[in-house]
Structure 1
Amino acid sequence: MSALPPEDFTPPYDPAGTGPRDPAAERRHETAPDALSGFTIGVTATRRREEFGALLERRGARVVSAPAIRLVPLAEDSGLLAATQATLSGPVDDVVVTTGVGFRGWMAAAEGWGLSADLGVHLSRARILTRGPKARGAVRAAGLDDHWTPATDSCLEVKQHLLAQDLRGRRIAVQLHGEPLTEFVGDLREAGAEVIEIPVYRWLPYRDIAPLRRLITQTISGAVDAVAFTSAPAVHAMLGAARAENLEEPLLAAFGGRVVAACVGPVTADPLTSRGVRTLQPERARLGALARALARHLPEHGVTRVVAGGHRLEIRGHAVVVDGELRPLPPAPMSVLKRLADKPGHVVSRAELRTVLPGSLARDSAEHAVEMAITRLRRALGAGGVVETVVKRGYRLACSHEAGL
């Protein structure tokens, strides 16, 4: 299935759905300190996880950090050393630089091995193609000349640029960044090129996978509203950890339901899209753009809006906005509220409400567990008349459903 609409094409934040598009209002909402209030977002990043988490928290999100992968230290990476030596074994015609940080890491590792001078000379004699402005800046900072950069920051466009030429007999070094470019490299080889893959920043599973296991459980149970991925290896790591616990299919089902799989770009999203999961992707593959895409998408598509007992409610992930005031809810009352809001105004029996209660509460007697959750819900909402008791039948929201509120 295709990705969810990119951020530049998501409808503006207009809950009523009646106003004209206002780009300035959209930008204000995307950066507002409360844009993500009431939502919980899982972050699987290792590198720059604090930076990305801060971007989400500044918008009010509750962040669950669960690093999925770790980097192999460059100086200890025998694969990178072997690829560097292969590069130096003969003239190189073309060099493809995919990321600035990866290129700088390669140069730093070569210096540690005493190979930086030879590598610099080799690269200076090659035609250097950079995927985007950051890669181009890193090449220039190393004192080298870049020869071509696509307008789209796309590896696909770089590949098409190369394939438009006669590659037979050409020796091409391709700098990778964490994940293989299987199709890219395969197409160049099929066109007759000798390709040297430079595996900068290889990934391994994170040493402590307990946080990732917890995030998998939270995703399946709906305790998080979105999971953000910044690399394809992180997606593979999460799916692999779920598979080891026989939870891969429930995890994919959760991503196909209410939990948003947010990916920084199409390469990151590929392990999910190839399994039929729709993903949220920003227009540009940047962390800031991903945070803005979430700040736009979740308040529009991750809420239920109702009027109950004369009060306006906006039900979010772990909180409800009551007449404009954000009120966090514990898991049990929130589960009950969401079930009541599935069919506003309809009576839901105590037995049915018991089935949505988390953990030990669901094992208590139906009467006690449900009544306790209802009492806590009413107290947390603060507004009277929202939840009505229907004698001998159950409970209902005193409301009419108004999806366009």
Structure 2
Amino acid sequence: MADRLNGYRILILETREEAQFSRLLTEQGADVLQCPMFTIHDAPDPAPVEAWIRRSIEKPFDDLVLLTGEGLRRLMKVVRRIGVEQEFVASLGKARKFARGPKPGKALREIGLEPQMTTEKPTSEGVAEMLSRLDLNGHRLGLQLYPDKDHSVLIGAIKAQGAEVDTVLPYTYDAQAADTNIIAAIDEMAYGRVDAIALTNLGQIRRLIEVARARGCEDRLREGLDRTPIASVGPAVSDELKSHGLRTDIYPAEDAFFMRPLISAMAAELGKKPPRAVARG
């Protein structure tokens, strides 16, 4: 049903898939306040990425672990640029494919492949737990990483199972982008002008707190979050919120950790009260 969020002002922190999220919210009538958090760039040195791709083609991995959908899409961008798309997709088809949550699975389906297993929890810990139940001894395992995260524990856990791990980091974040927009979003929450903030990945939380601390306004951020309902797409985001002493107010029903179920949960919860703009009027 359209217009379920008519009049509600929803803050989203733009990172990877938020263009789609913004469109879905707008279709439901929401007034979407967009805050760019950072931009994503291809790896500054393409040589290691290209070398990883060529190794995967020359000798296909036994297993492939994808931690993000963005990672596979960035790899495919390089693959197409160097003209080996058919060979690369064929090599991936020979590997057992493991996805950290639903987003890498979606990216695999875009190139006609399916994950053999998806983590119950879309976290690195969930990946390690899933792989711990498998025999990896003697396997060559390709591992796609993502930026701003120490992956040494996961890599160590896989190596401890006897696998040879070959990692690739196909993109990077611009950590300096959009500080001004982030401060403005913090102010909007502190002034009580936002009906909910919707969080879809844990990097958004870290970035919010990082910028607030650097600008000396962490107390104002926490004040704003105290008075603004916080919607979380899933357990990784909620765990990150909890680690910073923050709560989750809105959560998808039935463990459906996708954007549409999150929007439904927001509509159900926010619909209990009128939009703040109406209430103030």
What residue number does 1:243 align with?
A: 213
Paired with 2:19 and 2:103, the residues of 1 have a C-alpha distance of 21
What residue number does 1:297 align with?
A: 269
What residue number does 1:214 align with?
A: 184
1:286 to 258, 265, 270: 258
More helix per residue: 1 or 2? 2
Instruction: Answer yes or no: is the 8 Å Cα contact 2:195–2:276 preserved in 1.
Output: yes
Instruction: Answer yes or no: is the 8 Å Cα contact 2:8–2:31 preserved in 1.
Output: yes
- Cα shift readout 1:195-236 (whole Å, capped 9, x = no counterpart): 333324432236333222100122233222322222222222
Residue 290 (structure 1) shift: 1.9
Instruction: Answer yes or no: is the 8 Å Cα contact 1:150–1:157 preserved in 2.
Output: no
Instruction: Answer yes or no: is the 8 Å Cα contact 1:131–1:158 preserved in 2.
Output: yes
Aligned partner letter, 2:63: D
Instruction: Answer yes or no: is the 8 Å Cα contact 1:42–1:63 preserved in 2.
Output: yes
Q: Is 1:44 equivalent to 2:44 in the alignment?
A: no
What residue number does 1:108 align with?
A: 77
Aligned partner letter, 1:289: P
Alignment RMSD (CA, Å): 3.5
Structure 1 residues 141 and 206 mapped into 2: Cα distance closer, same or farther (>3 Å)?
Answer: same
Paired with 1:131 and 1:68, the residues of 2 have a C-alpha distance of 23
What residue number does 1:258 align with?
A: 227
Q: Is 1:276 equivalent to 2:245 in the alignment?
A: yes
What residue number does 1:95 align with?
A: 64
- Cα shift readout 1:280-326 (whole Å, capped 9, x = no counterpart): 332322222222221112233xx4xxxxxxxxxx5x42212xxxxxx
Paired with 1:49 and 1:165, the residues of 2 have a C-alpha distance of 34
Structure 1 residues 77 and 237 mapped into 2: Cα distance closer, same or farther (>3 Å)?
Answer: farther
- Cα shift readout 1:150-207 (whole Å, capped 9, x = no counterpart): 4847456553332123434433112245664735444323434333333244322363
Gapped regions of structure 1 (runs ≥ 5):
1-30, 304-313, 321-333, 335-379, 381-405
What residue number does 1:391 align with?
A: none
Paired with 1:277 and 1:133, the residues of 2 have a C-alpha distance of 25
- Alignment TM-score, normalising by the size of structure 1: 0.57
- Cα shift readout 1:70-109 (whole Å, capped 9, x = no counterpart): 1113686566446546656866321123455542431231
Paired with 1:124 and 1:51, the residues of 2 have a C-alpha distance of 28
2:278 to 319, 341, 347: 319
Higher mean Cα deviation, 219-228 or 100-109? Answer: 100-109
Q: Is 1:148 equivalent to 2:116 in the alignment?
A: yes
What residue number does 1:228 align with?
A: 198
Residue 67 (structure 1) shift: 0.7
Using the aligned pairs only, state the percent identity. Answer: 28
Instruction: Answer yes or no: is the 8 Å Cα contact 1:203–1:233 preserved in 2.
Output: no
What is the DSSP-based 3-state SS (H/G/I as helix, E as strand, rest coil) of the residue aligned with 1:202?
A: strand
Aligned partner letter, 1:234: Q
What is the DSSP-based 3-state SS (H/G/I as helix, E as strand, rest coil) of the residue aligned with 1:259?
A: coil
What residue number does 1:72 align with?
A: 41
Paired with 2:52 and 2:230, the residues of 1 have a C-alpha distance of 34
Q: Is 1:62 equivalent to 2:34 in the alignment?
A: no
Structure 1 residues 77 and 236 mapped into 2: Cα distance closer, same or farther (>3 Å)?
Answer: farther
Structure 1 residues 246 and 112 mapped into 2: Cα distance closer, same or farther (>3 Å)?
Answer: same
What residue number does 1:27 align with?
A: none
Paired with 2:178 and 2:103, the residues of 1 have a C-alpha distance of 32
1:171 to 132, 136, 140: 140
- Cα shift readout 1:248-267 (whole Å, capped 9, x = no counterpart): 24323432x22122232222
Instruction: Answer yes or no: is the 8 Å Cα contact 2:11–2:32 preserved in 1.
Output: yes
Paired with 2:14 and 2:59, the residues of 1 have a C-alpha distance of 37
- Cα shift readout 1:113-152 (whole Å, capped 9, x = no counterpart): 35546645653543333456764565466466x5722484
Instruction: Answer yes or no: is the 8 Å Cα contact 2:49–2:168 preserved in 1.
Output: yes
What is the DSSP-based 3-state SS (H/G/I as helix, E as strand, rest coil) of the residue aligned with 1:43?
A: strand
Aligned partner letter, 1:58: E
What residue number does 1:194 align with?
A: 164
Paired with 1:243 and 1:167, the residues of 2 have a C-alpha distance of 42
Aligned partner letter, 1:52: F
- Alignment TM-score, normalising by the size of structure 2: 0.78
What residue number does 1:373 align with?
A: none
Paired with 2:159 and 2:211, the residues of 1 have a C-alpha distance of 33
The higher-RCO structure (CA 8 Å, 6+ apart) is: 2
- Cα shift readout 1:327-379 (whole Å, capped 9, x = no counterpart): xxxxxxx3xxxxxxxxxxxxxxxxxxxxxxxxxxxxxxxxxxxxxxxxxxxxx
Instruction: Answer yes or no: is the 8 Å Cα contact 2:141–2:166 preserved in 1.
Output: yes
Structure 1 residues 73 and 55 mapped into 2: Cα distance closer, same or farther (>3 Å)?
Answer: same
Paired with 2:138 and 2:85, the residues of 1 have a C-alpha distance of 26
What is the DSSP-based 3-state SS (H/G/I as helix, E as strand, rest coil) of the residue aligned with 2:97?
A: strand
Aligned partner letter, 1:287: M
Structure 1 residues 77 and 287 mapped into 2: Cα distance closer, same or farther (>3 Å)?
Answer: farther
Paired with 2:146 and 2:62, the residues of 1 have a C-alpha distance of 21
